[in-house]
C-alpha cells in the first residue's frame, strides 16, 4: 500500500472505572456509568462511519471491558491486539507503538488511558477542525472520549503535529 494514503487514528479513552478495595489498578473494572458510556462511544463511531482496521487496546481490565462494549456496536469487528505498552504509556511511548503499525492498516484505534490519550490527540493535531479543537480544549478528554486524527503518510512518519484533528466526542458534553 502506498505511503501517501490518507489514514486515521481513533484515540479512545477507557470508560469510567470503579475503585474497588484491594484491587490493583491494572485490574480495575468499569463502573456502572462506564458500562453505559462505552456502548455510546461505539454507536458514535458507527454513526460516523469509523470502523478501524486494527485496534490496539491496553491490557488493563477497564480498557478491555470498554473495547468489548464498543466493538459490539460496530458493524464489523476489527483485528484487535492487546498491547501491554499502552498501559500507563507516555506520549513518546504511544507514538513509538503507532510507528510500528504495518502500512496495510488505514484506520487505527488506540484504547488507553489518560493522560496519554489526551496528550496524543492534542500533540498529533498540527491542524484541527475548529469545532473539534474547541471541544478538545474546553471538554478535555473525559472517560469514554474519542478523537479522530487524520494524516497522510506511513505510520512510521507519525510524529508531533503531523495530523489534523477531525472530530472529538464525549458522552456527557
Active-site entry in 26, 73, 88, 127: 88
* β-bridge mates for residue 6, sequence order: 152
* DSSP-derived 3-state class of residue 71: helix
Q: How far apart are CA 120 and CA 118, in angstroms?
A: 5
Q: List, in order, residues 6 or more apart from 119 with CB less than 8 Å away.
A: 90, 91, 94
Active site residue 88: yes
Q: Strand pairing of 107-112 and 54-58?
A: parallel
CA–CA distance from 139 to each of 5, 7, 156 (Å)?
31, 25, 30
Q: How far apart are CA 6 and CA 164, in angstroms?
A: 11
Q: Decide if 67 contacts 80 (C-beta within 8 A).
A: yes
Active site residue 14: yes
| 7 annotated as a binding-site residue | no
| Residues taking part in catalysis | 14, 88
List, as residue ranges, the binding site. 62
Known binding residues for substrate are 62
Amino acid at each position: 500500500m502506498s505511503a501517501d494514503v490518507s489514514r486515521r487514528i481513533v484515540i479512545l479513552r477507557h470508560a469510567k472505572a470503579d475503585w474497588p478495595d484491594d484491587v490493583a489498578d491494572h485490574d480495575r473494572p468499569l463502573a456502572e456509568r462506564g458500562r453505559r458510556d462505552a456502548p455510546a462511544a461505539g454507536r458514535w463511531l458507527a454513526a460516523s462511519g469509523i470502523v478501524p482496521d486494527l485496534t490496539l487496546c491496553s491490557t488493563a481490565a477497564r480498557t478491555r471491558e470498554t473495547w468489548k462494549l464498543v466493538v459490539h456496536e460496530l458493524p464489523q469487528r476489527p483485528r484487535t491486539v492487546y498491547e501491554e505498552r499502552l498501559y500507563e504509556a507516555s506520549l513518546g511511548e504511544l507514538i513509538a507503538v503507532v510507528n510500528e503499525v504495518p502500512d496495510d492498516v488505514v484506520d487505527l484505534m488506540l484504547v488507553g488511558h489518560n493522560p496519554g490519550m489526551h496528550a496524543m490527540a492534542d500533540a498529533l493535531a498540527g491542524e484541527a477542525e475548529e469545532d473539534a479543537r474547541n471541544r478538545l480544549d474546553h471538554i478535555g478528554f473525559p472517560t469514554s472520549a474519542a478523537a479522530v486524527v487524520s494524516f497522510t503518510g506511513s505510520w512510521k512518519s507519525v510524529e508531533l503535529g503531523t495530523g489534523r484533528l477531525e472530530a472529538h466526542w464525549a458522552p456527557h458534553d
